[in-house]
Structure 1
Amino acid sequence: MFSYRHGFHAGNHADVLKHCVLLEVLKYYQEKETGFVYVDTHAGAGLYDLTGKWANTRSEYADGIGRLWSATDLPWLVSEYVSAIKALNASHELTLYPGSPWLALQLLRSQDRLKLFELLSAEADVLANNLDQQRRLPPRAIKLERADGFAAIKAVLPPPTRRAVILIDPAYENKQDYRSVVQAIKDGLTRFATGCYLIWYPRVNRLQVDQMLKQLQHLPGIQWLQAELTVCKAPTDQHGLFGSGVFVINPPYTLHKQLQLALPWLAKTLAQDNHASWKLRANATETPKPHKPGRSGRPRAMH
C-alpha cells in the first residue's frame, strides 16, 4: 500500500500536514536559549529531487506542496512551512523537497543536536551522503545510525539538556508498526515524560489505526493533541491513502491555535473531492462541537 521509498510521496498532502506541525514545534523549542535534541526514528533520505523518476511516478507533490507554492493567502503556520521549502529552492522553482531531518537541520542552532535513525541501508546511505555535504552544523552535532528507530529511543532518552522533540514516522507497511509506535511511546515516556512526541499516521481503512490512536489517547498522565486532514473519499477497495494525521504528546501551547487557523484552509486548498475535511482534538482544550457541511460542499470542520 505504501512505498517506503519516500521519494514517491515527497511533498504530498501528508508531508504538508506533518511538516507544518513539525516546524511549529521546533520553532517553539527555539524560544529558549537552552539546546534541545531532535530525534527522527525513521529519517529516510533527507532530501528529494522532485524532477526525478520516483517523485514523478505519481507526482503526488503536485497536489501537496505544488498547490501551495504560488498561493498568497496562507495562514501563518502554512506560510512558515512554504517559506522553509522555498529557502531550499534557490531558483524559486519547486525542484527539491526536504524530508523531516533536513527541515530540522536547516532550522537547528549550534547548541542543538540531531539524532537520526534509518534502518534501510539504501535510504541511510543517501542521507549520510547528503549530510556530508552540509555545512550548517558541525559533524559532532549530527549522529546518524543505521538502526531500528523504535528501539533506538531507549538509547537517546533522556537527553542531557532535558529538552527533546521526537518524531516517529514509520512507513506502516508492516501492521506491526502500529503496535511498535505505542510501545516506543511507552518506552520514551518512561525515560523522559516531558519530551514532545510527534506521531505521524496514515488515514487508511485499517482497524490498526483506530486501535493505535485509542491506546495513545488513554496513556495515563499525558496531554495530547490530534490533528487530521482528509483530502478525498476513502477508496472503496479498502486500499490507498485518503488523508493523514499527527498525534502530539506534550504539544506546545501555541500549536492548537495555529492548527485551528490552518486546517480549514488546508482542507479547502488540498481537497481532491467534496469529501475533504479536518479534525482537531486535544484532551486539555475546550473545542466546539462538530460542524456539519452545508450544501455548498465546502470541507467539513470537525473540532
Structure 2
Amino acid sequence: MNYRHAFHAGNHADVLKHVVLLAVCDALTAKPAPLFALDTHAGRGLYRLDADAARRTGEAADGIGRLLELPRQCAPLERYLRAVQACRMAHGAEAYPGSPWLLAHALREHDRVAACELQPEEAEALRTVFSRDPRVAVHQRDGYAALKALLPPRIGDTRFARGLVLIDPPYEAQLEEFDHALAALRQSLERWPQAVYALWYPIKRRRSLQPFLRRAATLPAKSSFVAELMVHPDDSPLRMNGSGLLLLNPPWRLDTALAAALPELVAGLGQAGACWRLDWLKAAT
C-alpha cells in the first residue's frame, strides 16, 4: 500500500469528513454514558501543511485554507474551525488534525479511542502523538481485522454500549475497497448493532457509485444516509471531484446539522458546477 495521507491533509475531502466526524461526536457526547470510538485507518494523527508532501500537492489551500478565510459560518463549520485552531494552538500554526486527533479532542475523559494504522512509520508517528493520552490505544494492524477483534468493545470491566466507528480506507482499488468495506460493515453491525458507523468514499463520477449505494441500503442498520460534497462538476474520472460519507445509525438530527453545513461548504470550497447531496437510504422507523 503506497497511500500517504500527508499529501492530501486538509483538502476538501478532509474538511467534509472532519465536519461530519465532529458533528457525530458532539451528538453522542450529549448523553453521559461512556463512548468507544474506533478509527480503522487512522494515519499519523497529526500533519503539517508546510511539510514537503502537503506543499507538493497544495490541496490544503483549496480546503481548510479557503474555509479559514470565510466569514462566520453555521454551527457545524464553526465547531470544526475551533477544533483546527485548538490543534494549531497546541502544535503550531501549520498543524492540521487527523481524525484520531479530532476524536481525542471531542471525546471525554471517560471515553476511549482505538486508532489503527498498518504502515509502520505512520503508526509510530501516531504513537508519538498520543504517548501521553491514556484514553487512546494505538494499534499497528489492519483496520478491517481490527473490527473483528475489537467489536463489541470492552476495556477492563467497562462494556461500551455506545460509540462510533470511522472507516476511511485509501481506495487504491475503489471497487475492491467497496467490497471490503461493505462486508466489514455488515459483520460489524452484527457484532455491535447500536454503534454509529461512518464510511468515507471518494467520488469521481457519481453514477459509478450506484451499485455501492444499492448494496449499502441493504445493510442491517436501523437507518442510513449519505452526505456528499462535490467541489467540481461530476464529469471527470481522472480526478476526485468530491467525496461522501455513508452514515449508519446516525444520531438524531445529524441530517439537519449537515443540511446547514453542506451548502456553506459548496459556497466556500466549490468551483463552477459544485453541488451537495444528502439522501436517506433507509429512514428510521
Query: Which residue in 2 is equivalent to 1:79?
Result: 78
- The 5 A counterparts of 1:205-220 are 205=205, 209-220=209-220
TM-score, normalised with respect to structure 2: 0.91
**Aligned CA-pair RMSD:** 2.0
The DSSP-based 3-state class of the residue aligned with 1:90 is: helix
Q: Distance in 2 between matches of 1:143 and 1:91?
A: 20
> Is 2:148 the counterpart of 1:149?
no
Q: Which amino acid aligns with 2:68?
A: W
> Deviation at 1:205?
3.6
Unaligned runs of 5+ in 2: 154-158
The DSSP-based 3-state class of the residue aligned with 2:128 is: helix
**Paired residues of 2:189 and 2:221 also in contact (CA < 8 A):** no
Identity of aligned residues (%): 39
> Is 2:195 the counterpart of 1:195?
yes
The DSSP-based 3-state class of the residue aligned with 2:246 is: strand
Deviation readout 1:86-139 (Å, 9 max, x if unpaired) = 11112998511000001111222121111111111121111112222xx4x32x
Report which of the two has the higher share of helix.
2
> Deviation at 1:222?
2.7
- The 5 A counterparts of 1:83-232 are 83-90=82-89, 94-132=93-131, 135=132, 137-138=133-134, 141-159=135-153, 160-175=159-174, 176-205=176-205, 209-232=209-232
**Paired residues of 2:9 and 2:96 also in contact (CA < 8 A):** yes
> Is 2:263 the counterpart of 1:269?
no
Q: Distance in 2 between matches of 1:111 and 1:200?
A: 27
**Paired residues of 1:231 and 1:243 also in contact (CA < 8 A):** yes
42-51 or 72-81, which deviates more: 72-81
**Paired residues of 1:178 and 1:209 also in contact (CA < 8 A):** no
Q: Which amino acid aligns with 2:85?
A: K
Q: Distance in 1 between matches of 2:92 and 2:69?
A: 10
Deviation readout 1:42-101 (Å, 9 max, x if unpaired) = 000100001110110111011111111132231111110011001111299851100000
> Deviation at 1:228?
0.4
Q: Which amino acid aligns with 2:37?
A: Y
Q: Distance in 2 between matches of 1:214 and 1:100?
A: 27
Q: Distance in 1 between matches of 2:209 and 2:149?
A: 27
**Paired residues of 2:189 and 2:220 also in contact (CA < 8 A):** no
The DSSP-based 3-state class of the residue aligned with 1:88 is: helix
